[in-house]
Amino acid sequence: MILEQQRKEIVEIGRQIYKDKLVPLTFGNFSIRDHETDYVCITPSGMPYETLTPEDVVVVNLDGEIIDGIRKPSIETGLHCAVYKKRPDVASVVHTHSTFVTAWAACRKEIPSVVAEVAALVSGTIKCAPYRRCGSKELAEVTSEALGTDDAVLMGNHGVLVVGPTIQAAYTNAVIVEEGAKVAFYANTIGGVHLLNADECQQEREAAIKGYGQ
Ligand SMILES: [Zn+2]
């Protein structure tokens, strides 16, 4: 089996994300790009995370063509590939439908940076890409476009897409974004929220970019 280590990591993160309730049922999809071959290991379509094995993970090239695997790849394979093509720095893409980010996405509202951890991931706010049909080429286009150089973007009436230099980082970012969405919701409910200003957001983002890795 090729890229066995990456396939194992996807299975582990899938279980973790399911346990964390960041995805209901079989929703969401996760991938790792191998920089050496430029192949992408991605979750299969519609399989439960609890019983997933490395053999179920599908290996595709950047055009989404199957290189290895016995399953049908995620319907959002084109979306993952579009992000990898635009972002050479990204080695993992995590797409979830976690509750609070999806609520903001349903309102098609950008999430303001009310906590430093979120400001470190995006330039100012978590942007919201327009709604397009699940699994469509158009969804891949508008979402990868709206992501730009950020590490997270909402998908209108759908969910969120988060990236990172490793799958562990992308998973952590997915947790941060969901927590940030929850805090922004509660802070707005309490009223009188103080947003981080543009300078503060920029400093957090720059520090995070410099701080990647060891
Ligand atoms: Zn989705």
CA 203 to centroid of ligand 1, rounded, Å: 31
Residue keyed to tokens 């899938």: 14
CA 164 to centroid of ligand 1, rounded, Å: 18
Burial class (CB in 10 A: 0-12, 13-18, 19+), 192: exposed
Rounded Cα distance, 203 and 120, in Å: 8
Q: What is the mean pLDDT of residues 115-142?
A: 95
HSE, CB side, 13 Å, CA atoms: give it for residue 196: 24
Mean pLDDT rounded to a whole number for the chain? 94
- Count of domains observed in the chain: 1
Per-residue model confidence as pLDDT tens digits over 70-102: 999 999 999 999 999 999 999 999 999 999 999
Per-residue model confidence as pLDDT tens digits over 118-127: 999 998 899 9
- Give the number of other CB atoms < 10 A from CB of residue 48: 10
Our answer to whether residue 76 is catalytic in this structure is yes
Rounded Cα distance, 22 and 16, in Å: 9
CA 118 to centroid of ligand 1, rounded, Å: 21
Identity (one letter) of the amino acid at 199?
D
Model pLDDT, residue 25: 82
Give, for 163, the enclosing helix (H) or strand (E): strand 159-164
| Active-site choice (36, 50, 65, 76) | 76
Best CA proximity match to 78, nearest among 38, 135, 25, 14: 135
CA-angle at 21, arms to 19 and 27, nearest 5°: 100
Model pLDDT, residue 27: 86
What pTM was estimated for this model as a whole? Answer: 0.95
CA 76 to centroid of ligand 1, rounded, Å: 7
Model pLDDT, residue 208: 87
Model pLDDT, residue 213: 54
Give, for 41, the enclosing helix (H) or strand (E): strand 40-42
CATH code at 202?
3.40.225.10
CA 214 to centroid of ligand 1, rounded, Å: 32
Provide the residue range defining the domain that includes 184.
4-211
SS3 call for 67:
strand
Q: Looking at residue 166, what DSSP letter applies?
A: S
- Give the number of other CB atoms < 10 A from CB of residue 205: 20
- Give the number of other CB atoms < 10 A from CB of residue 188: 12
**Where do the H-state alpha helices sit in 55-166?**
77-86, 99-106, 116-119, 137-147
